[in-house]
Structures are given as structure tokens and as C-alpha cells.
Amino acid sequence: MTENTTSADPAKRRGIKHRWSMHRDRLRERPLADFSYRVAVAVIGLSVLFVGIAAIPYPGPGWAIVFLGLAILATEFYWAHRTLTFTRRRYDTAMTWFRGQPWWVQAGGAVLTAAVLVATLWIFGAIAWSARMLGLEHPMLRSPIGLGA
């Protein structure tokens, strides 16, 4: 490699983050485009955030989805950045505490998670629906709000 190609490489290697920053700066120069972009980020970020909040009690990536939604919002809104930092810190503290608890406390957390999952499936009628597929019928399996009938 010659000296000239290595000096040009850093500009090429700036990558997607630099290009996105340049694109975002150009959008900021146009008020309507900037406003539209911020509205789109807010709608997408809040949608992801609400899905994550709804998924928290269930096994799976509920908290990861919450953090993703906050990260999307934090690209444009300072309050979301502060909330993301605060929430991450609290989550890490809670998980450190939970992992340090005796096995029976951790087992209680797993039982509570399973109870929330089964209760939700029952309320939404998934248990009665599954039972009917297996040829089982019982009034206690039906949803208390009439879903899944």
C-alpha cells in the first residue's frame, strides 16, 4: 500500500455512523423534514416501547424490547436518553440483586412468571381454545371475559 491510499482510507472507513450523521444534519436544515423525521422516530420508538412494556411479564425479550424502544427514541429526544440510562441502571441493579438471592426466591420468580403467563392465556381464551382442539371441554377453562369462544 502506498502512503496516499492509507491517508484516504480513514475518510472511507468513517462508515455508516458518519454518513448517517451527515444525513441527519442535512435534515435538520429543513424544518418540515426535521419535524417529520422526529414524528416518525417518536411513533416507531413509542410503538416498540409499548410492545416491550406489554412483554415484560412474559418469558422472552421484554426488557430488551423496552431498551430498544428507548434507544430509538433517544436518537432524537434527550428525555429518552436520560430515561434509557436510568432504566438500564435500575434493571442491572435489580438483576444483580435477584441473582444474589437464594434459590427459593429465584424459583418464586419463575413461578410468578408462569402464573402471569397462564392467567393471561386463560383471560384471552387460549387455554379453552387449546383444550377444545384436544377434545376437552370444561366451564372453568373458558375465558372470564368471553374471548376465544
Same domain for 138 and 96, yes or no, is no
Same domain for 95 and 112, yes or no, is no
Q: What is the pLDDT of residues 27-65, one digit of tens each?
A: 888 888 889 989 999 999 999 999 999 888 888 899 999
| pLDDT band per the 50, 70, 90 thresholds, residue 12 | low
Instruction: With residue 13 as reference, give the H or E element that holds it.
Output: none
Same domain for 109 and 72, yes or no, is no
Same domain for 70 and 138, yes or no, is no
Same domain for 63 and 76, yes or no, is yes
- Give dist(CA 36, CA 23) in Å, integer: 14
Q: What is the pLDDT of residues 81-98, one digit of tens each?
A: 999 999 999 999 999 999
Under a CB-based contact definition with an 8 Å cutoff, are residues 41 and 74 in contact?
Answer: no
Sign for the pseudo-dihedral over CA of 115, 120, 125, 131: negative
Which residue shows C-alpha cell 374471548?
147
Q: Where is pLDDT greater, at 96 or 137? A: 96
Same domain for 113 and 94, yes or no, is no
Same domain for 77 and 35, yes or no, is yes
The parent domain of residue 141 ranges over 103-149
Question: Taking the model in full, what pTM does it have?
Answer: 0.71
| pLDDT band per the 50, 70, 90 thresholds, residue 2 | very low
List, in order, residues 6 or more apart from 137 with CB less than 8 Å away.
131
Sign for the pseudo-dihedral over CA of 36, 38, 41, 44: negative
Report, in this order, helix, strand and coil percent for the chain, each rounded to 5: 80, 0, 20
In this structure, the number of other CB atoms found within 10 A of the CB of residue 87 comes to: 14
- Burial grade of 5 (CB within 10 A; 0-12, 13-18, 19 or more): exposed
The number of distinct structural domains making up the chain is 2
Same domain for 81 and 137, yes or no, is no
